[in-house]
Amino acid sequence: SDHALDYPASPAQMDWDAHYPAFAGEGKTPEFADVGCGFGGLLIALAPLFPETLMLGMEIRVQVSQYVHDRIVALRATSAPTEPAAHGPYQNVSIVRANAMKFMPNYFPKHSLSSLFFLFPDPHFKARKHKARIISPTLLAEYAYVLRPGGIVYTITDVRDLHEWMKAHLESFPLFEPVSEDALRAEGKGPILDAVYTSTEEGKKVERNQGEKWLACFRRIEVERCN
Ligand code: SAM
């Protein structure tokens, strides 16, 4: 029914210049990854705040990823240009159709990401489906690999059980330590947190339904044990 999932054999195979033509030749790779980005609200909110930071959305649904692609093309074409020296509006944001549960290390070099976002991920309520959750013991090793030391994992959900699950697994994984919202705001990450709470389509839906939002953030620790 849907297209075959195309994915790179390794990050070196990724043609980032095609994704970010205004940055072509600079050798940059994405620093922010939005996993299951849906309709792209977070990326669109963050792009103008960090114009020199490359950002990538990963979305498994064909039509949704196509929609985000078209949205970015339109924004690049119609937004007022930024100052002459800059790369131009929304040039720093792109999307791939990808199964992020299988192929994260195929896209991102080791320690290349500074921020990894899991915003309102699908909850998979049934216990037998817990392995299908986007945060699981197996996947955390991959996330720790692509995140640079000091990098941040942002999670938010309106499903309390899923919040507790993600928190518990991240807390017990040796390469992540919890970091409070206040601490992140004190480091200047307030605009990122505001976008995490309110910029996505799912986040807005939760607001309309007056649902609660559960945030949990973690830092990729600096020290790596060698034994
Ligand atoms: N983060 C967005 C937001 O806050 O509006 C979308 C939230 S939506 C509930 C979850 C999204 O994750 C869906 O668009 C779904 O297609 C996508 N998704 C689920 N599993 C995925 C996977 N393995 N890889 C990439 N995307 C996935």
Is residue 46 situated within a structural domain?
yes
| Rounded distance from Cα 177 to ligand 1 centre (Å) | 25
In-domain check, residue 18:
no
Does some domain include residue 14? no
Q: Catalytic: which of 122, 158, 161, 182? A: 122
Is residue 51 included in any domain, yes or no?
Answer: yes
* Number of domains present in the structure of the chain: 1
Its domain, for residue 137, covers 28-220
Residue 201 near ligand 1, beta carbon < 6 Å = yes
Residue-wise pLDDT for 100-150, tens only, equals: 988 899 999 999 999 999 999 998 877 788 777 888 878 999 999 999 999
* Residue 123 CB–ligand 1 contact under 6 Å: no
Domain annotation covers residue 11: no
Overall pTM surpassing 0.90 (yes/no): yes
pLDDT at 1 over 60: no
* CATH number, residue 109: 3.40.50.150
Q: Give the residue-averaged pLDDT of 186-206.
A: 98
CB 223 within 8 Å of CB 150: no
pLDDT tens for residues 31-46?
Answer: 999 999 999 999 999 9
10 falls within a domain: no
Answer whether residue 2 is part of any domain: no
Q: Give the length of the chain.
A: 227
**In the predicted model, what is the mean pLDDT of residues 151-175?**
96
The pair of structure tokens assigned to 34 is 């939005």
Residues ≥6 apart with Cβ < 8 Å to 80: 89
Q: Is residue 99 part of a domain?
A: yes
Structure-model confidence comparison of residues 112 and 1, the more confident one:
112
Report how far ligand 1's centroid is from the alpha carbon of 5 (Å): 16
Q: What is the mean pLDDT of the segment spanning 193-200?
A: 98
Atom in ligand 1 nearest the alpha carbon of residue 200:
5
- For residue range 16-36, list pLDDT tens digits in order: 999 999 999 999 999 999 999
Question: Which of 203, 151, 204, 211 is closest to 175 using CA atoms?
Answer: 151
